[in-house]
Amino acid sequence: MILAVKRKMENVSFSMIRHCEEERRSNLTRIACFVSILFLLISSSSFAQKQPRKMNDKQIVIYQLLPRLFGNKNTTNIPYGTIQQNGSGKFNDITDKALDGIKELHVNYVWYTGAIAHASLTDYSAYGIKVDDADVVKGRAGSPYAIRDYYDVDPDLAVDVKNRMQEFESLVKRTHAKNLKVIIDFVPNHVARSYHSYAKPKNVVDFGEQDDVTQGFSAKNDFYYIPGQKFLVPQHEPKQTPVAVLQDGKFDENPAKATGNNVFAAQPKYDDWFETIKLNYGVDYQNGEKTYFDPIPPVWLKMRDILIYWTHKGVDGFRCDMAEMVPIAFWNWVIPQVKKENPDLIFLGEAYNPQVYKQYLDEGKFDYLYDKVGLYDGLKRLIRNESNADVKEISKVWQKESAGFGHHMLRFLENHDEERIASLGFAGKAELALPAMVVSATLGAGPVMLYFGQEVGEPGKGEEGFGGDDNRTTIFDYWGVPNHQQWMNGGAFDGGKLTDDQKKLRAYYQQLLKVTTSSDAIVHGDIYEVPLSGNMNNRMYAFIRYSGKQRLLVVANFDRKETLTANIEIPDQILKVKSSDPVTELLTNKKLNIPAGTAIPVKVGPVSAQVIAF
């Protein structure tokens, strides 16, 4: 109750409170303001957080995939293997059948990770592309976040390298024909040390082409420099890998440029983003982060043009890498300009600081931000059954951390940066995350995301190359993804090689997302936290999502041993929402024989969840 009142004060009456503070010299004004605020609080619901209507009428479900891995049928998987040895998926491998399979999961956006050309050790010099230096490339295939040419796509992904852009454009058309939308990465903070655009349109000036390299910082420069010093390859303990023979410990860069993760030294460390160069948005980091935004820095204009270029290719959204490392002022300026080309574009920011979430949404104009540090981290502790795991972290997310803007937060349990759920380092078994997946998909009205292979329990095993055996699916190497390949079934994309358990897991995801994408309560409804009842402990959580059309009771039991047994009392205000449907557990479509009244008896087994329409 206290939290709800606090939220109402913050959301409903903030402007009035501010007005009261400005006029506090007048006793009469203070009294009038206090009475008005009190009236607003009393007249509104005192225990539910109102979710503003989101920009779409349907919950967004994003499916992230790397084309290089997604369509690769090769099962060789030699550590540090070449493209000839281990193979690579292509744009053309993402067929109509593949898209149908993705759409079965009630996905409506596909994020094609690594589509844009990035630094790589594969030789495409026959096509006019200079071979990259192995001393500043991570892995054989290279990081998708070390962009080599912002106006080109990755030649690895083309069957006919000369027609690689046409193959990408055809993929966009195929995706749209299935009524799916396309997201690609926008990497604004840094580029590859070897950046050079061979594919740029006429009159486009390359990054750094007009820089004054004698200046460490200039608002007119695209990069930051360390004048008078050559770049030195970071030192590290040598590893006897197939790539090592290609490395001579040297890279020609004079003067040295600052490294992507804000390292202003001629020799970054091996743990730094040494393969990238920091872009200059007019912030002088070495002098108190003083800003020079007027006139508009050249990087701003170049990045705007790049975003517009891909928008004209039919891209429907951009996942913006490390959005917090780029000034809010840039986002405030660029996003509205690009949306003039397509008002329905979505901008999704990778963000990790809850203290500035609201600022990046309000001032930065982002549509959605990662809910990583809040919900993901808390759910991971619950999934792993860690001693400090507590469902109070779920409450904190929507009641405090993202109160009032939860519908702008993207929820997920896997992506390319995080450990696979089924990996030994995370949970060891994909099914242990199902209660968390239910919470992720139902807690807010914002998007929910799947990472390819998650729905079939991909464990991310093996030392693929640069990343080592780190419980993740590599983004740096050519590799086949075994559990995903079982669903791919040689290109049939019919799940023909899946085990019964894998089929059951995929069906669970399918049913859950069917429920959430067709639910008025999820997209437009309020949320009410169910108080502790029955034997509920700190690994059991329940809440109600309700709108004028629907009521859903969500019960998640993370406990590994105990069955959750409780009689959930429904508040009068929620009971006023009429429902003509019989009480049904939606994940199993099982009708529940529950007598009329103000309570719902629930019994939820260990590591499971229910979504009950009542």
Q: How far apart are CA 351 and CA 189, in angstroms?
A: 13
What's the pLDDT tens digit per position in 207-224?
Answer: 999 999 999 999 999 999
**Which domains are assigned to the chain?**
61-192+299-517 (3.20.20.80), 523-613 (2.60.40.1180)
432: DSSP letter: G
Residue 21: what pLDDT?
Answer: 33
Contact 570, 600 (CB under 8 A): yes
| pLDDT of 543 over the 70 cut | yes
The band of 1, judged by pLDDT with boundaries at 50, 70 and 90, is very low
What's the pLDDT tens digit per position in 157-170?
Answer: 999 999 999 999 99
Cα four-point dihedral sign 134, 139, 140, 144? negative
Residue 41: what pLDDT?
Answer: 33
Mean pLDDT of all residues in 72-97: 98
Least confident of 179-183, 241-245, 422-426: 241-245
Residue 56: what pLDDT?
Answer: 56
Least confident of 47-61, 463-477, 529-543, 594-608: 47-61
Mean pLDDT of all residues in 109-130: 98
Residue 238: what pLDDT?
Answer: 79
Residue with tokens 């759910």: 379
Residue 577: what pLDDT?
Answer: 82
Residue 462: what pLDDT?
Answer: 93
Residue 484: what pLDDT?
Answer: 98
Residue 149: what pLDDT?
Answer: 98
| pLDDT of 15 over the 70 cut | no
The band of 239, judged by pLDDT with boundaries at 50, 70 and 90, is confident
| pLDDT of 32 over the 80 cut | no
Q: How far apart are CA 253 and CA 121, in angstroms?
A: 18
Give every CB contact of residue 362 below 8 A, 6+ residues apart in sequence: none
Residue 20: what pLDDT?
Answer: 34
What's the pLDDT tens digit per position in 385-409?
Answer: 999 999 999 999 999 999 999 999 9
- pTM for the model stands at 0.91
Q: Tell me the two tokens of residue 277.
A: 């160069």
352: DSSP letter: -
Contact 302, 244 (CB under 8 A): no
What's the pLDDT tens digit per position in 446-473?
Answer: 999 999 999 999 999 999 999 899 999 9
Q: How far apart are CA 10 and CA 37, in angstroms?
A: 11
Q: How far apart are CA 80 and CA 82, in angstroms?
A: 7
Mean pLDDT of all residues in 365-388: 97
The band of 271, judged by pLDDT with boundaries at 50, 70 and 90, is very high
| pLDDT of 264 over the 80 cut | yes
For the chain, percent of residues with pLDDT exceeding 70? 91
What's the pLDDT tens digit per position in 332-359?
Answer: 999 999 999 999 999 999 999 999 999 9
Helix count and strand count (H, E) for the chain? 17, 24
Reported as half-sphere exposure (CB side, CA atoms, 13 A), residue 30 has a value of: 5
22 or 510: which leads in pLDDT? 510
Write down the mean pLDDT value for the chain: 91
Give backbone dihedrals phi and psi of 220, rounded to 5 degrees, phi first: -90, -10
